[in-house]
Structure 1
Amino acid sequence: MQHTDHATLNASEQLVVAAAAAAAPSVFNTQPWSFVFTDAGMEVHADPHDASMPTASAARDVRLSCGAAVFNARVALARRGHGSRVSVFPDEGDPLLVARVAVTDDAPDRALDELYRWLGSRRTNRYPFRPEGIPAAVLALLHDAARREGATLRLLEGEPEYQRMLTSIRHATWAEDDAVREDRGARLSPSARPPAIPVGNLGPVPRPGRPDDAPVRDMAQGLDLPGRGSAAFEPHPDLAVLETADDDPGAWIAAGQALQRLLLEATGHGIAASFANQPLEDAELRPDVASGAAHFGHPQMVLRLGYATQQPPIPPRRPLSQVIRESGAA
C-alpha cells in the first residue's frame, strides 16, 4: 500500500507525541535530543552539546538515545490513531537531523498502540533483582521485539561466554578513564542543579560479597551521596547483548528503536532492565564483546534483565519547552 503523508497533528497531539518521545531512555539521562514539528510530522534532532560522556561510544550513545525517542514517537502516533513512516538521516547536509517521523494515512499499528500503556512505567532499574530467571516464552517475545526493528537480542547463558562478559565488564570498570569518572561525578554531584540522575534512580551501593559476584554497574562509584544505602545484588543476573548487522549511525538509530521496543515489551511482562555497557565504552574492549557475536553482528547494548525488588521513581525529564523548538532554530 502506498503511504501518503498528511498534516494532522494539532497542538495538543504534538505535546502528546513530544512527551512520549522525551520519555525514552538516554545515555546517563542526558536526553540528547530536540523535536521540531512540521506539516508532515516530527523531526528528531540529536543535541549532543554537553550531553556526551567522554567515552569512545559517545556518538553512538547519542544516536541510540535518539532512536529510542523515535520509537516512542511512533508509539504515541499509533495511540492517537495515526500511521507513521520513519526516514533516517534524511538530509545529508544535516547529520544532527537523525530522523523524520511522518504521519501517514495508514491504519495505526496495533502492536505499537498496545505498547503505549507501558511508556510511563518503564524505568532503568539499578536496584537488586530477584533470583529467579526469565521464562523462555518471555525471552522469545523480547527477542522478537528486537528482531522487528532489525536487531538481535542474544541471551548470554552458556559458558565460557557468560564469564567472559563478566570479565570484560569488570575489566572495563577497573580501567575506566579518570576523565570519564570525573565527568560523571560532576553530573551526579549534589552541586549539580539538578543532578543528571537523582539518588532514588541510582539505586543502592552494591554490598561487597564474594570476589566473583556478578558486577552491577554503580554509576556513582566513589561518590558519597546521602540516602543511597547498600544492598546485596543477585549473583547471576540474566545478561543479554543487543546487536545489529551493521555498525554505522543508521544502525545505531535502529538499535535505539529495537532497544525501546523490547524494553516496553519487557515492562509489560514485569521485567526490569539496567545496562552494563562499560566494555562498549572502551574502544579496546568492545571487540571482546563482539567476538561472541560474529554470526549476529555488532554489539550495541549490554542489558541486565530480571524481576525487580523495587521500582525506582519516575526519572526527571527536561520541560517540553526546552525540547520542542521551532523549525530553523539553532
Structure 2
Amino acid sequence: MPARPLDMMNITSLVAAATAAPSLHNAQPWRFRHHTKVGTIELRADFERAMPHTDPGNRGLHIGCGAALFNLRVAAADSGLHVDTHLLPDPADRELLAVVHLDDSHRPDRDLATLFPAIARRHTSRHPFQDKPIPAAVQDALRDAALGEGAQLAFPAAWHVESLLEHVRDVEGRDSLHPERLEDVQRWTRIGAESAGTAVDGIPEGAFGPRKQGGRAPVRDFAGRQPVPGRPAAVFETTPHLALLGTHNDHPDDWLRAGQALERVLLLATLDGLATSLTSHALEQADLRELARDPRSAMGFVHMVLRLGYGPAGTGAPRRPVHEVLEIG
C-alpha cells in the first residue's frame, strides 16, 4: 500500500517536537527540508550557528542535531508513522546530516512513542539536586537506552567523578586566561528583561538557575560576572551523580548517534522522575577530553557529561518558530 502524503500540520508538529531538543548554548543549529513527493524530511546543519571558539570541529553542533533527529523519530512514532533514517547520505553536501523517510504502511516503533510525553517536559535543570542515590535499575535502563542508539553510557566511580570535577575547575581557570573563549557564551546569553523576553534562542536569564554558593556540581554559570537582579544563591550537591556518554569512534556519524542516544537517555530519565543537566565544558579542550574517559572502559571517546538527580525541573528555553527552520520542497 503506498504511503499517504503527510499534510502540513503533520510536518509542522513533527518539526516542532524536533526543535525541543537540547543544543550547545541553545543555539539550535538545525534546519529541516520536507520533500512532499517522496515523503522525506532532511535534517540539515545551520553552520551560521556554529561556535568557532568552543566547538571548532562542530562536534557539539552534530550532537545537538542528533538530539533533534531523535525527537523527530519519537514524534513520528507517536503519530503512527514508521521511520527509516539514513545518516550523512551525501558527503558532497556538508550541510545534509540525515534523511528521514516517513510512511504509515509499516508499524511505528512503540518503544519510541512511549517517550513522546517527555519531549515537552525535558528541560535542563541548573538547580541543586537532592543527595539521593539513583536506583541501579534506573541506571541500567539508561545504559540500555544509550546502547540502543549505538552509544555507551557509563556511571563513573568515585575517583573518576573527582577527576572530572577537577577538569571542570581546570577549564574554568583556562577560560579566565583566554577571554576569547567566552565569546561564544556571550553571544548566546540573554540578560535583561527586553533581551530575554524576546529571545527565540540562547540561554535567557530565567534559565540560569541560582548562583552557586557552595557545592561541587558542574553547572556552568552563564551570568559570569554580570549581575542579574533578583537571582538567588544556593548550595549545590557535594557529590553529584554524573554519567558519561560516548562512542567507540569519533566521526560525524558517531556524533549524530551520540546526539540521538543523549536525547533517548534524557527523555527516559525525565519519565523516571529525574532532573537532568548537561556539561561539555571540560570536553571543549582536547587534552581534558582525553582524560575524561576511564582507561578501563571500552568507551573510546566521551561526548557529553550528564548530571542526573532528583530535584527541581529546569526552566524551558525559547525556541525558534517552525517557519524559520522548515523549508517545503
TM-score (norm 2): 0.91
Aligned to 1:95: 94
- What are the superposed Cα offsets for residues 30-58 of structure 1, whole Å, 9 maximum, x if unpaired? 00001111132211101020342521455
* 1:112-123 correspondence runs (5 A): 112-123=112-123
Aligned to 1:200: 206
Cα gap change, 1:189 to 1:108, in 2 (>3 Å): closer
Aligned to 2:21: 24
Q: CA deviation at 1:259?
A: 0.3
**Residue 124, structure 1, aligned to residue 130, structure 2:** no
Unaligned runs of 5+ in 2: none
**Residue 229, structure 1, aligned to residue 229, structure 2:** no
The number of aligned residues is 319
Q: CA deviation at 1:117?
A: 1.1
Cα gap change, 1:238 to 1:53, in 2 (>3 Å): farther
Aligned to 1:11: 8
Q: CA deviation at 1:293?
A: 6.2
Q: CA deviation at 1:158?
A: 3.4
Judge conservation of contact 1:255–1:300 (CA < 8 Å) in 2: yes
Judge conservation of contact 1:53–1:184 (CA < 8 Å) in 2: no
* 1:250-269 correspondence runs (5 A): 250-269=253-272
Aligned to 1:170: 169
Aligned to 2:307: 304
Unaligned runs of 5+ in 1: none
Q: CA deviation at 1:189?
A: 4.5
Paired residue type of 2:285? D
Judge conservation of contact 1:83–1:109 (CA < 8 Å) in 2: yes
Paired residue type of 1:314? G
- What are the superposed Cα offsets for residues 93-127 of structure 1, whole Å, 9 maximum, x if unpaired? 11211001111432000101100111100001111
Paired residue type of 2:134? I
- What are the superposed Cα offsets for residues 117-172 of structure 1, whole Å, 9 maximum, x if unpaired? 1110000111111110111111111111000000110001232x221111111111
TM-score (norm 1): 0.91
Q: CA deviation at 1:276?
A: 2.4
- What are the superposed Cα offsets for residues 253-272 of structure 1, whole Å, 9 maximum, x if unpaired? 00000000010000001111
Q: Which moved more, 1:9-18 or 1:288-297?
A: 288-297
Aligned to 2:33: 36
Aligned to 1:67: 66
Tell me, what secondary structure is at the counterpart of 1:274? Answer: strand
Once the two structures are aligned, what percentage of the paired residues are identical? 38
